[in-house]
């Protein structure tokens, strides 16, 4: 579908100053980023990309994704609430009525030969884990709001009462513990081989800002390779904070609607190592992925795709 483009200064694809995207920020080739941080080639480049949401991509951006980067798969980690907000924003800007049955995916666009997979990393199990952290009054209030069709109001309460106090690191740990089915789906997708002419790689993974849920998945992939230093993993994660400054005011409006604080625009330096320490409870990233149901052969397939 055609979408309005509002060109602005944004992040630069592949760290090359003469090849920027118009409307896609926090974009980078993970392999190239890590290789530069490591000072040597340890990962394949042009295989795994990460970014913030793609919704505002210009026509030139779309051509670059499909024709220059040759994307095969886009993994969108956003929640249903975020998709609803994105569609509402589009309708407000264009004056269009909802076109899809539920009016929640109108903001998405199709790229030729590119498969888009919607996997809400903070899905039902994650939501339940947050609900159980509410006091009884807010627990029943949230249930009543959801039952009455006021889901956004319920989300705001959960954001204020649970998510903000937990912080980004706490929510990352909660995601690991609760979103096991989603993690299995994501990593089995990364492990899938070309089948019947369909390609899996190159893959672009993103959420809304492309730093926390995306950062968690990328962190686990980098740990799985076994060839990336802790310092390089942390440096790649914290790169997202300055990349997002260009949209910080717009993001803050959305973050406040979710009942969250300004901290959610940041990249806490301790995020990566706290996640790594938590994974050790499962026996490391391999033990965790085995726990959620991803077999060793599939882990080898991911390594084969990523490691140079």
Strand, helix or coil for residue 95: coil
Phi, psi of 68 (to 5 degrees): -100, -40
Side-chain-facing half-sphere of 220: CA atoms under 13 Å: 29
Between residues 90 and 35, which one has the greater pLDDT? 35
Report residue 7's pLDDT band, with 50, 70 and 90 as the boundaries.
very low
Kind of pairing between the strands at 115-118 and 28-29: unpaired
pLDDT of residue 305: 96
CB 156 within 8 A of CB 255: no
Report how far residue 32's alpha carbon sits from residue 108's, in angstroms, rounded to the nearest whole number: 27
pLDDT digits (tens, 9 = 90+) for 226-279: 999 999 999 999 999 999 888 877 777 777 777 777 788 889 889 999 999 999
Report how far residue 31's alpha carbon sits from residue 45's, in angstroms, rounded to the nearest whole number: 5
Q: Which CATH architecture has domain 28-93+104-306?
A: Alpha-Beta Complex (3.90)
Look at residue 66 and tell me whether its pLDDT is greater than 50: yes
pLDDT digits (tens, 9 = 90+) for 26-36: 999 999 999 99
For residue 76, the cross-strand partners are 118, 206
pLDDT digits (tens, 9 = 90+) for 201-235: 999 999 999 999 999 999 999 999 999 999 999 99
30-38 helix and 230-238 helix, angle to the nearest 10 degrees: 130
Where along the chain do its domains lie? 28-93+104-306
What does the DSSP assignment read for 220-273?
A: HHHHHHS-S-HHHHHHHHHTHHHHTGGGHHHHHHHHHHTT--GGGGS--TTHHH
Q: How much helix, strand and coil, in percent to the nearest 5, is found in the chain?
A: 55, 10, 35
pLDDT of residue 20: 73
pLDDT of residue 82: 77
Side-chain-facing half-sphere of 37: CA atoms under 13 Å: 21
CB 52 within 8 A of CB 104: no
> Quick one: residue 144, left, alpha or beta (phi over 0 = left, psi -120 to 50 = alpha)?
alpha
Q: How big is the chain, counted in residues?
A: 308
CB 74 within 8 A of CB 116: yes
User: Residues 86-93: what's their mean pLDDT?
Assistant: 68
pLDDT of residue 269: 80
pLDDT digits (tens, 9 = 90+) for 168-212: 999 999 999 999 999 999 999 999 975 555 789 999 999 999 999
pLDDT digits (tens, 9 = 90+) for 120-154: 999 899 999 999 999 999 999 999 999 999 888 89
Look at residue 95 and tell me whether its pLDDT is greater than 70: no
């Amino acid at each position: 579908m055609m979408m309005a483009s509002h060109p602005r200064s944004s992040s630069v694809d592949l760290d090359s100053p003469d090849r920027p995207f118009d409307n896609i920020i926090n974009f980078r080739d993970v392999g190239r980023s890590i290789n530069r941080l490591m000072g040597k080639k340890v990962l394949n480049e042009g295989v795994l990309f990460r970014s913030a949401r793609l919704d505002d991509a210009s026509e030139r951006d779309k051509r670059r994704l499909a024709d220059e980067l040759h994307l095969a798969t886009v993994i969108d980690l956003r929640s249903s609430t975020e998709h609803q907000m994105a569609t509402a924003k589009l309708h407000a800007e264009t004056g269009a009525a909802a076109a899809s049955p539920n009016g929640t995916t109108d903001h998405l666009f199709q790229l030729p030969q590119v498969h888009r997979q919607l996997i809400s990393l903070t899905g039902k199990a994650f939501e339940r884990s947050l609900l159980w952290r509410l006091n009884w009054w807010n627990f029943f209030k949230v249930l009543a709001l959801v039952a009455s069709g006021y889901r956004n109001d319920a989300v705001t309460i959960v954001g204020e009462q649970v998510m903000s106090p937990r912080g980004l690191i706490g929510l990352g740990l909660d995601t690991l513990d609760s979103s096991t089915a989603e993690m299995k789906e994501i990593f089995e997708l990364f492990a899938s081989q070309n089948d019947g002419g369909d390609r899996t790689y190159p893959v672009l993974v993103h959420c809304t800002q492309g730093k926390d849920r995306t950062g968690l998945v990328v962190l686990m992939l980098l740990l799985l390779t076994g060839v990336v230093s802790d310092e390089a993993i942390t440096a790649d994660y914290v790169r997202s904070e300055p990349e997002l400054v260009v949209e910080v005011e717009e993001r803050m409006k959305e973050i406040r609607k979710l009942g969250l604080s300004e901290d959610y625009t940041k990249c806490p330096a301790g995020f990566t190592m706290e996640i790594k320490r938590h994974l050790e409870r499962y026996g490391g990233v391999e033990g965790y992925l085995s726990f959620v149901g991803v077999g060793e052969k599939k882990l080898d397939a991911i390594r084969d795709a990523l490691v140079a």
